[in-house]
Structure formats: structure tokens, C-alpha cells
Homo-oligomer: A and B are copies of this chain.
Amino acid sequence: MSAEFDLIARIRARAGGRADVVLGIGDDAAVLQPPPGRQLVVCTDTLNAGVHFPDDTAPADIGWKALAVNLSDLAAMGAVPAWCTLSLSLPDADPARADALLDGVLELATLHGVVLVGGDTTRGPLSLCVTAIGHVAPGHALRRDGAGAGDDLWVSGTLGDAAAALRGWSQGDAVPAALRARLDRPTPRVALGAALSGLASAAIDVSDGLLADLGHVLEASGIGAEVDVDALPASAALPDACPGLELRRALQASGGDDYELCFTAPPALREAVQAAAQGVGTMVTRIGRMVADRGLQCRTAGGEQWESARAGYEHFAG
């Protein structure tokens, strides 16, 4: 038995199960029983070494993050995650690394009752491609194109920690563990997303930076937004690591890798949104409002116009 089939056998033994997995890892494909009366929600995201995580990231954290960024996409649709696949490219047959990558994937999967149902392993530079599949009530998916003028603009959790960690790491600074954990093990807002289904008018997850991702909502919805940059929620750890106000604003507005949910809802639902968020134990903060005029205006608490020095992380930017 080759190393590849050995690895697949180990993955299979650890993948877990649930009643709707008719046939999991070990055949040409998985067979799944979709929940009746629900629509499927499907996303795919890849993490590549040298691009998506610092090169000293622990393999278990890489595995966690590869699934987390996908569960975050499902959360941004208001979907309940169910199953995932993992395509794993490995530069060698080191079983310890493969197992550690899998540790991270399965730790997060277990937290959300998600079952790994398939995938493949190939030789190549380290890369993890995850496809996540969930479900949502028909018509209740949170889309980018549903925001209306006058809606409140909200964001979950706190912003800027992951970007601060990445900045510190790339400068060779000592990075506080609390910040580094936000970069390495983002928390997909799965329960919040599901709780917002039926309340939020639009949603997106913050992966490339708040303003860049909000821009996709504006474009899809055909409207504009006003953002109060001093209302952006920050962790307790952020001011210590980044004492400068301007840098902190920039990291929060444009840093990326937060995997928080940015969403809109009518002001009439303000209390319902707060109650839904409280019900799942996730903080949400109002950070602005949607306006009919296209474009994105940022203002400080003092009312001054503010422009981010960076427009968010873009692949291939050059």
C-alpha cells in the first residue's frame, strides 16, 4: 500500500460521520442525502503556502484556516454548514505534517458538526483546497445585492487583529498571541450568519478588508455607504500592538483576514439584530449606514472625511 493510500485510509478513519452521509470517503465520490425543502449553498477556497499564511504557521492552524475561510463564506450566506471536501497538495509524504493539517481541519469541522466526505491528495507545493456545502431555507440566503438605502451597516466581532499580526510578523516584531491567533485561527461566524438569515438585507464576510468587501455589497446592491471609521470595533489587544491611531484605522478598515460578517439591515430591525447576535453570543456593532448615492464615504468621529491608505488586499495587484 502506497503512502497516498495510507494517508487516505488515515483520513477516512478520522473523518467522522452523520446520518445524511450515505457514503463518505473511500469510493469515487461521496453520496449525501440533502435535507428536504432546503437549498444547497456551496463555496470553494484555496490556501497556498507563500500566499495565504506566514511560512511559520503551524500545520494544524493551516488546516483550521482552510476550512474556516470556507465556513465563513457559508456564514455570510446565512447557511448551515453540513459537509466539506479537502484537496491536499503536499510537497512530500511526511505523515506528521499531513496528520497535523488534518487535525486543524477536523477540529473546526467537529465544532460545527461538519463531516469531511471526500477529497484527494496530490504531490505539489503545499496547498489546501476546501469545498464546503451547507443549506438554507429557500429564498433566505443572505446575498450581496439586497442592501437598501437607509439600512444600518453592521459588523460582527472586532476588526484589524489579523492584519496587525501579519504586519508585525512581516516586520519581524514579536506578535502578541491574541493577535496571532486571530490570523491563524479565524472564527467563522456560522451561528451568527444563520441567525441573521431572515433579518439581514445583505451580507459578506470580511476577508480582503472591510472597505474592499463592503465595496462588493455596494456594487451588487447599486447603492453607497457612509462608514464611521472610529466606530469600527477593536479588540483590547489592538491598541497595545498599534498605538498609532491612523495605522489602527487603516488596519481595521482595510487590513483583511478578519472573517467577520459585514451586513446590512433596516433600522426597524435594530433590536432584532442585537437580540439575534446576543442569542448566539457574538458582538455586533453598527458602523454606518447605506445611502442612495453610490460611493463609499468614510468619516472620523469628529466628522472629518477619512481615506484609507490601502484599498484592501488584492491578489495579482501590481
Instruction: Report A's interface with B, CB cutoff 8 A.
Output: 2-5, 7, 22-23, 26-34, 36, 39-46, 48-52, 73-74, 76-77, 79, 83, 85-87, 89-90, 92-93, 117-125, 127, 129, 131-134, 136, 138, 141, 143-145, 203-205, 220, 314-318
For A4, the closest partner residue in chain B by CB is: B315
Q: Which of B23, B79, B123 contacts A29 (CB 8 A)?
A: B79
B45 lies within 8 A of A120 (CB): yes
Q: Which residues of B are found within 8 Å of A45, using beta-carbon distances?
A: 87, 120
* A220 shortest CB reach to chain B, Å: 7
Q: Which residues of the other chain, B, contact A7 by a CB distance below 8 angstroms?
A: 316
Distance between Cα atoms of A45 and B89 in the complex (Å): 10
Q: Which B residue's beta carbon lies closest to that of A129?
A: B129
Within 8 Å CB of A205, what residues of B? 28
Does the CB pair B44–A40 fall under 8 Å? no
CB distance from A60 to the nearest CB of B (A): 21
Question: A141's closest neighbor in chain B, by CB?
Answer: B31
Cβ-closest chain B residue relative to A29 = B43
Residues of B within 8 A of A40 (CB): 31-34, 40, 133
Residues on B with C-beta less than 8 A from A3 are: 314-318
A48 to B143, CA, bound (A): 33
Pick the contact of A316 from B22, B52, B73, B93 — CB < 8 Å? Answer: B93
Nearest Cβ on chain B to A191's Cβ, whole angstroms:
16
CB <8 Å contact, A51 and B144: no
Contacts of A90 in B (CB 8 A): 316
What are 26 A-B pairs with beta-carbon distances under 8 A? A3-B314, A3-B315, A5-B314, A23-B143, A26-B220, A27-B77, A27-B220, A28-B73, A29-B41, A29-B42, A29-B77, A32-B41, A33-B39, A40-B133, A42-B85, A42-B133, A44-B118, A44-B131, A45-B87, A46-B127, A48-B125, A50-B124, A51-B122, A51-B124, A90-B316, A127-B127
Distance of A87 Cα from B316 Cα, bound (Å): 15
